A = this chain, B = another copy of it.
Amino acid sequence: MEKRYHHGDLRAALIEVGLRLLAERDVEGVSLREMAREVGVSATSVYRHFPDKAALMRALAREGLDRLAVAQQEAVSGKEGAASFAATGRAYVRFALANPAIFRLIFTSSAQLQATGEIEALRMLRANAAAASSGDAGPEQAENGALRAWSLVHGLAMLMLDGQLPADDRLIDKLIQG
């Protein structure tokens, strides 16, 4: 028996299932066949919506990036300057800890995510980092400060994900705050 999905429904269902699987296991452990199986559809039908597996994975990365952007936006609301950066940075690291595989997927595939708006989450972090370091002398110092802040937050996330540092909320606060 054939299941009929309204336009876009199977696509959305595949992305939802994909993100759920990525919450449980690593990127390499997620196959196109399994995503189709979980949705309850034949593997073949995926090809009606994505040219190949890579395209589906890119869609997952894009959706993950959107969610990271939302998390940062929620965290930053009503804050300014240094407090704003700290909030964004904390949200960034916490998102990574809560969604390890998705966070990794975002960054390993984001070089291919070129379309407008897809890098919103990254743009926002950079903007906040720039605001945080705007007390510095010139615009170049501010830019350097922003990149340093982004690197700090990104490195913190990665080191905690890889078990090099304890994934401790208070440690995050200490390192980002002061």
A152 on the interface (CB 8 Å rule)? yes
A159 to B111, CA, bound (A): 11
Q: Which residues from B are CB-within-8-Å of A11?
A: none
Q: Is the interface of A mostly helix, strand, loop or mixed?
A: helix
- Write out, one digit per residue, whether chain A residues 98-137 have a CB within 8 A of any chain B CB (1) or not (0): 0000000001101100000000001000000000000000
Quick check: B154 and A107 within 8 Å, CB to CB? Answer: no
- Interface readout for A138-178 with B: 1 if CB under 8 Å, 0 if not? 00010010011011111111110011110000010011001
Contacts of A28 in B (CB 8 A): 28
Number of copies: 2
Interface size bucket, A side? 20 to 34
Residues of B within 8 A of A155 (CB): 150-158
Given the contacts A150-B155, A151-B156, A158-B155, A144 and B107 also touching, CB distance less than 8 Å = no
Cα distance, A156 to B157, chains bound together (Å): 12
List the B side residues contacting A144 at CB < 8 Å: 174-175, 178
Q: Is the CB of B151 within 8 A of A110?
A: no
* Also in contact, A148 and B162, with CB within 8 A (given A153-B155, A155-B155): no
Partner of A175, one of B107, B151, B174, B178: B151
* Chain A interfacial positions (CB closer than 8 Å to B): 28, 107-108, 110-111, 122, 141, 144, 147-148, 150-159, 162-165, 171, 174-175, 178
Which are the 7 A-B pairs with shortest beta-carbon distances?
A155-B155, A151-B155, A154-B155, A111-B163, A151-B156, A107-B162, A152-B152
